[in-house]
Chains A and B, each alone.
Chain A
Amino acid sequence: MSGADIMAGWRDALDAGELRFPRCEACGSWNWYPLPRCRACGSAAQTWTAIALEGTLYSWTRVHHAFARESVAELPYVTGVVDITAAPGVRLVCLQRRASAAPQIGSPVRLALERTPMASRWLFELASTA
């Protein structure tokens, strides 16, 4: 995977409404965040591959003070790190959907795409309440 914009595939995936990560064509490893070569085998052949919107909550925090230049959500908000089930080793940071159940590390979660005027982004909620 190369070229001036290694993240173009991420934007394409958001436009298509799919969750895609770069997968090595040579050895099948997932590579996240994107790098020009596969971390496992060194191959440059990587394809943005769509997968199921399922994961497990690795960790989370409730944010009371925003550091981002633009506000992304009303404070406080919960943002989490999700292990993606179908892509071992890949974690995605997601915002928790409002008014969903209290986050629990290790709980199964489902992801959903939200399109805002600023950006498209992935939300998570506990699978039991989805």
Chain B
Amino acid sequence: MQRSPLKTVVDGIGHAGPVRRSPKDVEDLALEAIDIALADAALDPRDVQGVVTESTLCPAFTPLDRIGPAARLTGLRRTAHSSPVGAGILAAIGMAADMVERGEVETVLTWFATGWGSAKAGPTEYHSKMQAKRLIEDPVGFSGPPLYFAVAAKRYQHVYGMTDADMEAMLFDITSAARANATRNPGAQVRQPLDPAGYAASPTIAEPLHQADCSLLSDGAAALVISRRDRITRGRPEASLRAWAYAVDPISDADFYTQSPWLPNLPAAERSTAEAFAKAGLSRSDIDVLEIYDCFSIAVAIQLEAGGFCEKGGTASMAKHGGLRHDGRLPVNTHGGLLAHGYLLGVNHAVEAVTQLRGVAGERQVVGARRAYVGAGPGRQYTSLILERVDP
């Protein structure tokens, strides 16, 4: 079913950071991003009627009972949590839009903030809390997210009959495109381009992944305001949520990276993307810019293929010769992504999509971008957003 004609817009965006280490507390970062997003939407905090956030890390680090009063959100009538981590950050935007479309509220705020850049505990700690990982995986040195994606990359290479050199070339093309895009983004954490010599010199973490293939670690936050379009009075282009979809497979987080019968396929990503495009009444070729959860370079390949943006095993040829750069055949992660902009778990990808559709992305602007796809959660769950520019 197609959504009612673009009734909902993301009319406020704000960033704090990302930086490798911030002197500010994670709550301060969230509040800073919220202030900027509300100002961008010309919205008084007391006129925010709803809050929807990611369900696991957000309540742990920036809980609403503290952020609400500190941000002076005195008019809340609805609050909700979505799902964990990357897919949940995007699903919160979709759920917020649904709330607005149902007429429950006119304005919803969402945010995500992380202090994993300077915290001792980070993503590895998050995963090691799962009992099976601690008892079975840690003693054989199978610890930390890079290993999950390293074995996924080796399996991908086997399935598609690639040589070590083929795999290295594909990963380099993906990573160097993110870095090239980030050189044109003043807000990116890493702004040095990556050449083949630099890639070869990047320390190997777990074969075939170099450090350059792995997400940065960051302190930072971003916030977005989702509003009823007809309450907007300004005359600037806005980004509307044309359609979104969430899908989840019946497999636990602890199981996924070793027991998935599907890798390098991602059934949840396939269903979520297909459903979003069906709802939007659009096809992949209608998309001008993609923002994909790039926790590791290989994750971009499996998601582009699951989403139908490249054929299975076809990312290598698509990514050749700068194909994924902002001016390439398939512009991906125009801000630099988690690999070069910062590890904000994908909330930065949503902000970048809005920035591109408003046409204010500066040197990294995809010329004439009218529709953006944002996808996150390369695992048991996945969220797809399709955003469209609406002119004033």
Q: Is the CB of B139 within 8 A of A72?
A: yes
Query: At the interface with chain A, which of B45-53, B198-206, B322-330, B349-357?
Result: B198-206
Q: Is the CB of A35 within 8 A of B252?
A: yes
Cβ < 8 Å to A, chain B residues 222-277: 250, 252, 254-255, 258-259, 261
Q: Is the CB of A63 within 8 A of B147?
A: yes
In the assembled complex, which residues on chain B have CB atoms less than 8 Å from the CB atom of A93? 136-137, 140, 142, 258
Q: Which of A58, A81, A91, A119 contacts B139 (CB 8 A)?
A: A119
Q: Is the CB of A72 within 8 A of B254?
A: no
Q: Which of A63, A72, A120 contacts B138 (CB 8 A)?
A: A72
Q: Give the distance to chain A from B251, nearest Cβ to Cβ, in Å.
A: 9
B103 within 8 Å of A (CB atoms): no
Q: Is the CB of A122 within 8 A of B140?
A: yes
Q: Is the CB of B136 within 8 A of A89?
A: no
B390 within 8 Å of A (CB atoms): no
A106 within 8 Å of B (CB atoms): yes
Q: Is the CB of B138 within 8 A of A33?
A: no
Q: Bound state CA distance, A21 and B138, in angstroms?
A: 18
Q: How many residues from A make CB contacts under 8 Å with B? A: 42
A34-B132, A60-B151 are contacts. A121–B140 as well, Cβ < 8 Å? yes
A98 within 8 Å of B (CB atoms): no
Nearest CB in chain B to that of A96: its residue: B140
B155 within 8 Å of A (CB atoms): yes
Q: Give the distance to chain B from A38, nearest Cβ to Cβ, in Å.
A: 12
Q: How many residues from B make CB contacts under 8 Å with A? A: 36
Cβ < 8 Å to B, chain A residues 48-99: 58-68, 72-73, 77, 79-81, 89-95
Q: Is the CB of B141 within 8 A of A73?
A: yes
Q: Which of A60, A66, A92 contacts B143 (CB 8 A)?
A: A66
Q: Bound state CA distance, A3 and B255, in angstroms?
A: 20
In the assembled complex, which residues on chain A have CB atoms less than 8 Å from the CB atom of B132? 7, 33-34
Nearest CB in chain B to that of A68: its residue: B143
Q: Bound state CA distance, A72 and B46, in angstroms?
A: 54
Q: Which of B206, B254, B255 contacts A65 (CB 8 A)?
A: B206
- Among A61, A62, A89, A106, max chain B CB count under 10 A is at A61
Nearest CB in chain B to that of A121: its residue: B139
In the assembled complex, which residues on chain A have CB atoms less than 8 Å from the CB atom of B261? 89
Q: Is the CB of A79 within 8 A of B140?
A: yes
Q: Bound state CA distance, A126 and B251, in angstroms?
A: 29
Q: Give the distance to chain B from A4, nearest Cβ to Cβ, in Å.
A: 11
A33-B259, A39-B250, A105-B155 are contacts. A67–B143 as well, Cβ < 8 Å? yes
Which B residues contact A (CB, under 8 angstroms)? Answer: 124, 131-132, 135-144, 146-147, 150-152, 154-155, 158, 203-209, 211, 250, 252, 254-255, 258-259, 261
Which A residues contact B (CB, under 8 angstroms)? Answer: 6-7, 10-11, 32-35, 39, 58-68, 72-73, 77, 79-81, 89-95, 105-106, 116, 118-123
Given A33-B252, A59-B155, A64-B206, 16 new contacts (CB under 8 A) = A33-B255, A61-B147, A61-B206, A61-B208, A63-B207, A65-B204, A67-B124, A72-B138, A89-B259, A90-B259, A93-B136, A93-B137, A105-B154, A106-B158, A119-B139, A120-B139
A-B contact pairs, 10 of them (CB 8 A): A7-B135, A11-B135, A58-B155, A61-B154, A61-B208, A68-B141, A81-B151, A93-B142, A93-B258, A122-B140
